[in-house]
Structure 1
Amino acid sequence: MFAVNQERISRSAYIQAIERYGQLEIFRHGVREARSYAVCSSDPLFALTMILFLRETDQSVLPLHGDTPLETALRMAERAGCAGLFYGSAEQYYPLQASAVRADEPPSIYQFSSGTTGEPKLIRRSWEEVSREIAAYNDRFASYSLAEETPVVLASITHAYGLISGVLSAMERGAEPVVMSGASPKAIAQCLRAIPKHLLYGVPALLQGLAPLFEHGGVKLRGVMSSGAPMSPILYEHYRQASALLLQQYGCSEAGCASLAVGMEAYDDLGIPLGHLSMQAAAEPSELVITIGGRTIPTGDLGCTFGEGNLRFLGRMDDLINVSGLKVMPAEVEEVICRLEGVVEAVVYRGIHPINGETVRAQVVASDSVTAGDVREWCLRHLPPYKAPSEVRMTASIPRMPSGKISRKLLEQEGV
């Protein structure tokens, strides 16, 4: 079946848990009507088994991050129209008034978008759609002889990346995923050493923090998968050298995983679309558009094709900076800044000048020897002047959202 923090959960143990859930008061007389339930728990074993139980009994589920406060979780569950909230454990159940039967909707998984560009949206995807995604995902794995790799999932299993790509897809192809929730770097290192054919599922913020584990002859990495946000050029180069195989997947809340890069050729390589959908992209920068199940989904992401048809991520369209009518892509400036020796990380975003309008700003994490003047001088040497940041702020860390993503919109608002 699967393991949680290296404790293997057998099929019989899983069945026992499912049978126990079936005896809960709300399910004791059988599951006759399709309803939606929210699950919020810092216990990954409970969260995962309850999600699987609801899927198997044709119910809908809203997974919420385990650290979500109760009041916030209740508000989100009510907004999603859930019949109730499981908070922490099966015994801590909070019924909600918004318990309408969902006869007009197939059993689904609900998620709120990350909210990096505004108010989070409630997204519904049917379990049938998820099954098609899993089949296409596993077909791509099989084509690269990766079907037997064991996912070590550091990403949250309440997010589609950790749950669907890391856990459900692996279980479907007969692999036994290992969920490492809140594990220490030492425990992660022990786990990776114990699983020779591992594939580490992380997000850039997590991978950044774990990078020292894999330096100077440390833990040998077989495979690393990243998602959620593009790797920085520096992080990409680090893991390209530390890992035998580097992968990156791309998608959106409405479509799930849409493309997969196996053996990344660059930090912004999104790979090739999966077989159950198509993606509209061109050699020149344009919006990436996904077509799936008769639906067209504009992603709001800017990209292009390169090489043998791989997709390249260039940034969010609403992150483009208009400097006196000239467009600046933040990712391009960030890539240049990250080439300066001593720089660890950089984010470029829009500033507003009361007279000149939009300007280019940057926050940079670097060694003490690198100054804001050094960064600006470096940019002026390698970029047209209008793309060079007019303001550079050296910082110990770049602010992130709970999901680990950077919101340029929030950075822009803080600077107003």
Structure 2
Amino acid sequence: MAPSTIPAAVDAAAERFGDNEAVVDGEVRLTYRDLRTRVRQVAAAFVAGGLRPGDRVAICAPNTWHWVVAALGASCAGGVLVPVNTRFTAPEMLDVISRSEAAALVVATDFLGRNRLAELQELGGVPGFVLVCDDWSFVDEVDAVAVQPDDISDILFTSGTTGRSKGAMSAHRQALAVAAAWADCGNVVADDRYLVINPFFHSFGYKAGILVCLLTGATLVPQAVFDVARTRELVERERITVLPGPPTIYQSLLSEPGCDSLRLAVTGAATVPIALVERMQKRFGTVLTAYGLTEAVVATMCRPDDDADTVAHTSGRATAGFEVKIASSGEILLRGPNVMIGYLDDAAATAAAIDADGWLHTGDVGILDDRGYLTITDRLKDMYVCGGFNVYPAEVEQALARLAGVTESAVIGVPDERMGEVGKAFVVASTTLSTEDVIEHCRALVANYKVPRHVEFLSALPRNPSGKVLKRLLREEVR
């Protein structure tokens, strides 16, 4: 019987996969038995630090073995995981920690040239118990605290079109169910070696990465910072078989010999050139596309026997118990047992997202073909994706409103060869401002991937008769 809680999954993996390598991170190589021991040791540290069942544990750290052990250890101590985006500024981190009322914090003090703990200390936002990612040498162990399948396992913060972050809550059974569905679509097994470049703080890196390996016995190889050369090196050295990522990664890997161990490539809900899919299938084997969001994780996915045209132009068909339908507006609606429980402390936002019939309104626009395969055609929301990270223009516009001289602004995503999309800010100013003024102001307030890369100054923003800014016209101008 499949485990229905994360602590049960840790124990089951140790029993089933024992001496299989669980995590390989540089010189650290943990078997599944080693992993359970480390997890129990960290759980003991949490309990000794005063963590009680149901308390929230924030983690702000890169993709390393520490994140894996800390996240599973928090679950085994009865805690609720709250991942924090490592690209966030200190105020953004503090917002997530404060609103989740985190009782404990796991943090990397040296990553990307920043000491996040020191930044939080300056703001007075450090929880009572802190674990700093280092060479942990805990000794005491503790058995997992009893949790139930419907208990909250994690709160993943996202952002809405208003720019205010929302904490999507999922239960243990849901986190494991979406991971199991993803693993099933990709035929992931214990012999696989899975390189995870998607950040663990994202649902993809955590649930379609860590939890997939935990359920299947595959070996997890984390990469802290994405770099194509480093990715190639890891694929070759660790004989990686599974590698999800954006299309640009595979274009790079296809340009040179090697990487012959790869058998499964998975990319996101975007149109992928059919010629690229055909090359990938010929070189790597199975190529899949998928669609999901924080509130549902993975809703549709291609299957291994789908042809190149289907993989290139659709995001697959329903998985993980989801129903998919298209509203009269064209919006994609999802329903099923793995839709989030709701938003933390935000009943109004929950009701707006999930209607009375249980349908999650995604804000994305798409079409379903007669086979039930989904194609994403547009977004109802203005959100764009920069380097794999969602950016909500309203949040950036709020930051711009705090710059002296800015009367109003509108931010859109524009195509970028390297990042997929980057921000372009259209600014109406009452004083003389430069592009550098705007960019440096944003850099101090929002994460780097949210900072606009282009700025254009206008005398006025285009509006409809009711006064709403017509971003469609701005996009057309860019095109």
Normalising TM by the smaller chain, what interval?
0.5 to 0.7
Give structure 2 stretches of 5+ with no counterpart. 1-21, 110-116, 130-147, 338-356, 385-392, 394-411, 418-445, 457-470
> What do you get for the CA RMSD once the two structures are aligned?
4.2
Letter in 2 for 1:255: A
Offset from partner CA, 1:310-334 (integer Å, 9 cap, x none):
11111112459xxxxxxxxx9xxxx
Tell me: higher relative CO, structure 1 or 2? Use CA pairs within 8 A at least 6 residues apart.
Answer: 2
Q: Kindly indicate whether the alpha-carbon contact (under 8 Å) linking 2:271 and 2:314 is maintained by their aligned counterparts in 1.
A: no
Q: Which residue of 1 aligns with 2:236?
A: 193
- Residues 23-102 of structure 1 mapped to structure 2, 5 A cutoff: 23-24=44-45, 27-28=47-48, 32-42=52-62, 44-88=64-108, 94-95=126-127
- Secondary structure class of the residue paired with 1:270: coil
The number of residues matched between the two structures is: 328
CA distance in 1, matches of 2:215, 2:415: 42
Q: Kindly indicate whether the alpha-carbon contact (under 8 Å) linking 1:147 and 1:175 is maintained by their aligned counterparts in 2.
A: yes
Q: Kindly indicate whether the alpha-carbon contact (under 8 Å) linking 1:41 and 1:67 is maintained by their aligned counterparts in 2.
A: no
CA distance in 2, matches of 1:170, 1:406: 34
CA distance in 1, matches of 2:227, 2:413: 32
Offset from partner CA, 1:25-50 (integer Å, 9 cap, x none):
x5218755321111111362212211
Closer/same/farther in 2, CA of residues 29 and 46 from structure 1, 3 Å limit? closer
Q: Which residue of 2 aligns with 1:131?
A: 176
Does 2:330 correspond to 1:286? yes
CA distance in 1, matches of 2:89, 2:207: 24
Closer/same/farther in 2, CA of residues 84 and 258 from structure 1, 3 Å limit? same
Offset from partner CA, 1:177-214 (integer Å, 9 cap, x none):
22122254333213223455611122x3xx42663332
Q: Kindly indicate whether the alpha-carbon contact (under 8 Å) linking 2:334 and 2:361 is maintained by their aligned counterparts in 1.
A: yes
Letter in 2 for 1:198: T
Does 2:234 correspond to 1:175? no
Q: Which residue of 2 aligns with 1:4?
A: 25
- Secondary structure class of the residue paired with 2:62: coil
Q: Which residue of 2 aligns with 1:162?
A: 205
CA distance in 2, matches of 1:154, 1:125: 23
State, as a whole percentage, how many aligned pairs show the same letter: 18
CA distance in 2, matches of 1:405, 1:247: 28
Q: Which residue of 1 aligns with 2:375?
A: 312
Q: Kindly indicate whether the alpha-carbon contact (under 8 Å) linking 2:179 and 2:207 is maintained by their aligned counterparts in 1.
A: yes
Q: Which residue of 2 aligns with 1:224?
A: 265
Please, which of 147, 150, 157 is the counterpart of residue 112 of structure 1? 157
Does 2:251 correspond to 1:215? no
Letter in 2 for 1:231: A
Q: Kindly indicate whether the alpha-carbon contact (under 8 Å) linking 1:149 and 1:198 is maintained by their aligned counterparts in 2.
A: yes
Closer/same/farther in 2, CA of residues 363 and 161 from structure 1, 3 Å limit? closer
Letter in 2 for 1:249: A
CA distance in 1, matches of 2:449, 2:205: 14
Moved over 4 A (4+): 29-32, 114-117, 145-148, 194-197, 361-366, 401-407, 410-416
- Secondary structure class of the residue paired with 2:332: strand
Closer/same/farther in 2, CA of residues 16 and 309 from structure 1, 3 Å limit? closer
TM-score (norm 1): 0.66
CA distance in 1, matches of 2:278, 2:197: 19
Deviation of residue 16 (structure 1)?
4.2
Letter in 1 for 2:364: D
Q: Kindly indicate whether the alpha-carbon contact (under 8 Å) linking 1:225 and 1:247 is maintained by their aligned counterparts in 2.
A: yes
Q: Which residue of 2 aligns with 1:380?
A: none
Q: Which residue of 1 aligns with 2:429?
A: none
- Secondary structure class of the residue paired with 1:247: strand
- Secondary structure class of the residue paired with 1:3: strand
Q: Kindly indicate whether the alpha-carbon contact (under 8 Å) linking 1:289 and 1:298 is maintained by their aligned counterparts in 2.
A: yes
Please, which of 295, 298, 309 is the counterpart of residue 254 of structure 1? 295
CA distance in 2, matches of 1:152, 1:171: 14
Q: Kindly indicate whether the alpha-carbon contact (under 8 Å) linking 1:154 and 1:181 is maintained by their aligned counterparts in 2.
A: yes
